[in-house]
Structure 1
């Protein structure tokens, strides 16, 4: 079975779910163009999720993907939070921010029964997960309306684990990928490998379709992934500049600049390693800091610094998510980008 048949799409191209830089508008555009549009839901409340899903359902009849994190929510630690805020205190002083007024918050929420309740109203064709898989009963609920299940593997061991737990396809996330690493069986970043090394190893190890992700932004990248045995590709960074994306002005400016050539894995913005363009906070505190609270509790303390800096046109404290290949970022519609990539696949086929 081809990936297109599995997902119900015209082409084996998945738009990576990118929380914080997109909403349903991008999802709709990609799905209507023949790819699999994705909606990131980890930062959405049940009501917000319902609103976005209603918008998608009203504007496309094509399959789409809803994406969730499935981490275990940590117990807040006053000690860890105090250490983190102390590390940030020079910046609070610089911007005139009273740290005592900053509320603690969850940042991102894992897939839950409440989220499944909302999904059951819309019955999306695909549900994908990051950081492993949710509890079996939640997986069963997603399957009850016929949804296909995808999840991310960053190692062969994770791919084997996902296959053993019943996923329909595996997203092989290479080290080049922007945003959060999907790593979940280990915390050792040294286990992470590049896309061209990872994809063929996972393809050999599992029997389900493998979707290549990380550093793929154009025709040559797609061709390379397919030559290594991938059944399809997931592309994120190339969509960041699209007109339907909600990428901020400072983020877009960074993507256009020479700064985009240098990215790093950093835990400063959430508590988990994620690839972003190197900016001031990464240079001065990181990229990896032991002061950061467990994911996703780091988010609340750094949020006011981001807001203050962005109000002054600076991305010094913003999570400027990007992969290692920003060469295809262009201010075009997501439909145009998807169709261009699809035409390459048609020629190759």
Structure 2
């Protein structure tokens, strides 16, 4: 079965779900251009997701994807929290953020029964997960809606695990990709492969379709992925400058500057490795300091710091997510980006 027949789309092109960078508008534009638009739900409540899905349905009658995180929520560790606040102390003082005002609960929720209920009401064509899969009972509820299931693999072992646990296709997330690494079987970053090393390994080992993701920003990247056996591609960074996204002016400027040439995996903004443009916070504290709160708790202190710095026109404390290849990240409508990517399928 081809990826387009599996997903019900015209093109085997998936817009990567980018929590915090987009809402339903970008997803709808990609859907209407023939690709699979994605709605990120990792930072939404069940009520907000319901609203977003209603808005999305009003803009397109094409299939779309809804994406969730499948992490485990950690307990708050007061020792880690205190050490984290101490590490951030110079920034908290500079931007006048009171440590006592920093929230302690998780800002990102894993997939839950409440979210499953929303999916049962809306029945999207595709549901994807990051950081593995939810518990079997919840996954079965999603499958019962008829949705096709996708999830990210960053290693061959993860791809085999996902296939064994019933996904319909595997997203091969290469090391080049922007945003959070989808790794879930190991925390060892030395296991992480580039897209064009990972894709053929998964293609050779799996029976389900493999979707290439990471570093693919134009038609040439699409064509190369298909040559390696990918059934389709997932693209994120190339869409970030589209008018349909909701990123800040500071993020837009960074993506169009020479700074975008230097990205790094960092745990500073959430507690899990994620790729973004190097900024002052990363240069000062290091990309992966030891002992910070576990995902997603590290993000609690970053939120107010980011807001305070951005109010002064600074991106010093902002997660400027980007993949390693921002070369084709242009301020064009999402439909035009999708059309240009599709030229790599000819």
Query: Per the shorter chain, which TM-score range?
Result: over 0.9
Show the 5 A alignment for 1:68-79: 68-79=68-79
For the 8 Å contact 2:212–2:225, the answer to whether it is kept is: yes
Paired residues, number: 346
Secondary structure of 2:10's counterpart equals coil
What's the CA shift for 1:344? 3.5
Distance 1:344 1:194 in 2: 20
Q: Deviations over 1:2-56 (max 9, x none)?
A: 0000000000000000000000000100001100000000100111101000001
Runs of 4+ that moved beyond 3 A: none
Distance 1:258 1:178 in 2: 16
Distance 1:179 1:96 in 2: 28
Distance 1:101 1:154 in 2: 36
The equivalent residue for 1:284 is 284
Distance 2:184 2:244 in 1: 31
Q: Which residues of structure 1 form unaligned runs of 5+?
A: none
Distance 2:244 2:41 in 1: 17
Q: TM-score, normalised by structure 2?
A: 0.99
What's the CA shift for 1:239? 0.2
The equivalent residue for 1:135 is 135
Secondary structure of 1:21's counterpart equals coil
- Is 1:149 matched up with 2:142? no
For the 8 Å contact 1:217–1:235, the answer to whether it is kept is: yes
Q: Deviations over 1:76-111 (max 9, x none)?
A: 111111110010011111122211122223121100
- Is 1:231 matched up with 2:263? no
Show the 5 A alignment for 1:115-134: 115-134=115-134
Secondary structure of 2:128's counterpart equals strand
The equivalent residue for 2:35 is 35
The equivalent residue for 1:6 is 6
What's the CA shift for 1:342? 2.0
The equivalent residue for 1:104 is 104
Show the 5 A alignment for 1:1-349: 1-345=1-345, 348=346
Distance 1:138 1:89 in 2: 41
Distance 2:101 2:158 in 1: 41
For the 8 Å contact 1:17–1:236, the answer to whether it is kept is: yes
For the 8 Å contact 1:87–1:291, the answer to whether it is kept is: no
For the 8 Å contact 2:267–2:274, the answer to whether it is kept is: yes
For the 8 Å contact 1:180–1:275, the answer to whether it is kept is: yes
Q: Deviations over 1:173-216 (max 9, x none)?
A: 00000000000000000000100101001111111000000000
Secondary structure of 2:100's counterpart equals helix
What's the CA shift for 1:163? 0.4
Q: Deviations over 1:312-331 (max 9, x none)?
A: 11111000000000011111
Distance 1:99 1:112 in 2: 30
Q: Which residues of structure 2 form unaligned runs of 5+?
A: none
What's the CA shift for 1:248? 0.8
Q: TM-score, normalised by structure 1?
A: 0.98
What's the CA shift for 1:304? 1.2
